[in-house]
Structure 1
Amino acid sequence: MTQEAVLQVQMLGGFQVSYGQTEVVARNSRNSKVLQLFAYLVCNRDKMIRQDELIGILLRDEESENPVGMLKNLVYRLRKTLEAAGVTRACIQYKKGAYGFCAAVPCTVDIERFSQRIQNLRENPLPDDEALAQYLEAAELYDGGFLPRFSREPWVVGYSVRYQGMYGECLERACALANHTGEQERLLPYLRKAVKLYPYEETLAVLYLDTLYRAKRVKEALEAYEAICATLLNDLGIGPTERLRQQFDIISSGVQEVTPSVMEVRSRMAEAEREPGAYFCNLEVFTSLYRFVLRHMERSTHSVYLMLCTLKEEDGEALPTGERMRKVSESFRAAVKESLRRGDTYTRYSSSQFVLMLMEIKQEDCDGVAQRIRHRFHRFPKMGRVQLDFKCISAADMDEMMERRENQALASW
C-alpha cells in the first residue's frame, strides 16, 4: 500500500511548501497575492474565512470595481498551483461566501509544531534535564521570523510578534534551566543563532553574554560584547544599553579561578602577540584608562591629549547608518591604528565619532597626527567623500577645569 503524501508547510524563516517529494512553493519564490492567500488560509486552517475579510487582507491597497472577482481569480490560481503539484483542489473549500484550507490532505505546519511544543512545556512541568532538552528542541524548530517576505503586511506583524515572543521565552527558560544544571555549553549554539537572527534584541544579547560568562568563556564573551556594540552603532547609531553595560562589568571582572602565580597572571594579561600600532578598546575600558592616566599625571610631567574625530559626509551631513557606516568606521580604525604609536589608545565614542588618547605629545604635534590619519584614511577606496573633523584638548586642561568646577561648587555650597 502506497503511503499518502504529506503537505509540509514552513513559515518560519521563509515560506516553503512541499507535497511528498514535490516542491509546491520554493523558498525563494517571489511575493505574490496568491502565496499570501495560501499562507493566510494555512494560518487559519480548519476555519472558514469570509470573503470580505480576505479582500481586506489581500486587496486593501487595490482599487477595483469587482474585488470579489479578483479574489475568485486568486483562489483559482492557487488551486491550479496546488493541482500542478498533485495536491487535490478540495483542500481549498468554498461555502456560503467563505473560503478555507481544510484537512483534505495530511498536513504539517512548522508554526503549529513550534507553538504546540511551547504550550505543552507550559502546561506539563518536567524535570530540569528533560525540560531543557525539550526547550532546545523547540528552539531548533524556530528557523527565523514569521514569513519575512510578507513582514510589512499588517496581518503578518501580529503573528511575527507572537512567535518571536515565544522564541524568546523558550531561550530564557532554557537558560534558567541550564544555570541550574550547569549545562551552559549546550545552549551556546542556540544563542548564537538567536543573536544572529535578532542582532538588536537586548534580552537575547544579555542571555548570550551571560551564558558565555557562566561557561567560563570570558574572552569570547568580551569579543561578543564588542561585536554587539559595533552592530548597534553601525546599524542603529546607538550605544550599548544599560543592561549590556552592566553585563560587561560582570564579564570584565570574571576571572573565576584563584592562581598562586604572578607569572601566570602576567601571561594571561599580556597580548597574544606584539601588534604594531595604537591600542583599540571599548568605551568602558577607555574611560577607565583615561581616569588612571589623569591620576598618573599628578606625579609626572608627561602631556596627554584627547582628540575627538567626527566622521561626516563630504557636504557636512551625518553619515547614514548601515553598511556604509560599517565600512567607514572600519577604514578609520585601520587608519588610526597605522598612524598612532603603540602607547596611544583609541575608542569609538558614538556611531560617527572616535576618541584618541595621545600620550607624551606636544600640542603643536596634534595637527600632524590628524594629517597623518587623514592621509591614510583617504587611501581606502571611496573614503575621499568622507570628511574628518578633528578637535583636540589637553587632558591636563580638562582635569584643571573639572577641579575648578568642583571648588566653585564647594564654595557656593
Structure 2
Amino acid sequence: MTYPIYLDYNATTPVDQRVLDAMLPYLTMHFGNAASRTHVFGLKAEEAVAQARRQVAALIGALPNELVFTSGATESINLALKGAFEANSHRGNHIITVATEHKAGLDTCLHLEQLGAEVTYLTPDSEGLVSPEQIETALRPGTLLISMMLANNETGVIQPLTEIAALARQRNILVHTDATQAVGKLPIDLARLPVDFLSFSGHKFYAPKGIGGLFVRQKTPLIAQQDGGRHERARRSGTLNVPGIVAMGKAAELAQTQLAEEAVRVARLRDRLESGLTARLSDVQVNGTRAHRLPNTSNLAFANVDGEALLMSLNEIAVSNGSACTAASTDPSHVLKAMGLSDELAYSSVRFSLGRFTADADIDQAISHVVTVVDRLRTYQSI
C-alpha cells in the first residue's frame, strides 16, 4: 500500500523511534506499578516516572511537583476548568474564553454553564487574535477564570497570552491555557508565563496517544474530578500509565534539545508551501495572522472550489480542514467562522501541518498535487 504524504501533524504525530525504544522496556521487563513501593518492580517504575516528570517539567519551565499526568489534553482541560470552578466558586462564577477554542474547552464551558457558571465567549478579530483590551472589557467583579489557547490547532495563531495572564494576575483571576499545539513547538517558560494551569498531550510531540499532562501552579486550589486512590498528589486518581509517561518524558527531552532548530526548519518548509501555492494559484488566502503563528501550520482558503470535493480529491497528501476531534461534523469550522469567513471559504479551507519527518521533496510534491487538483476542480465547476 502506498501512503500519502503526511501533512497533518497537528492531528497527531508518529511516535519517534527513540521514544519507542525508551518506552518498550516498561511494557515488558519493567512492568511494575509505580504505586507499589514495597518491591523492586514498583520502585523501578516510580523512578522512571520521577525522571519523566523532570524531563517534561524542564521542557515547559515548571517544577516537577507542579505536573499532573493525565490521559491527554481533553482530560487535562476538564480537570483544570471543572476543578478550578469547583474549588474557587466562592470567589465568583464568571469565566472568559474564546470562540475559537478547541471543543474540549468549549464543551467543558457548556457543562459548567449547567452548573451555574456564566461564560463570556470572546470573538477574535479577522486574524484570529484576542487583545488584552478585549479581556479587560469583559472582566466583571465575579470573574473567576480566563481560559484560552496558547496556539490555535487549526490556524496556528498564537495569542498574546503573556500580556493577558499578567492582566489577570493583577486582578487575582485564574488563567488556564490549552497549550496542546504549543508544547514541543514553542519555547515555554512557566517561570515567566504567569498562568495557573497549562494542559497538553504527548501525541502532539512524538509520544504515543493516551498520555498527557496538566501543569498546576503551586498552591493553586483544584478539586480532583477523578477519585479512587489519591494518586498525583490527590489531583488525579488512577494507576499511572508508566510506559506512556516514560515515552512522553523522552519526547520532551528530544523536543527541548532541537526545538529552536526544528522551528526554523519547518517554518521554512511552511513558507515554501505557501509561496509555491500562491504563485501558481489565484484566490488563495492564508487564514489567520502570519506574524504570530506556529512555525509548522498553514491554513489556506481556496476560493471557488467545493470544499468536500477538494478534500476528497487530495489523495496524495494527508491533510484536514479542521480539528481531528470534529472531523465527522458536516458544519464549517467554528474557528474560521468566528474569524469572519463565509461558509463557502471555511468549507474550502485546508490545514497543512508539518513536522519532524517532513522533507523538502514532500512539500514540492504537495504543491504540485494541490495545484493540479484545484485547477481541475475550478475548471469542472466553471463548466
Please report the TM-score for the alignment, with normalisation by the length of structure 2. Answer: 0.24
Structure showing greater Rg: 1
Using CA pairs below 8 Å that are at least 6 residues apart, which structure has the higher relative contact order? 2
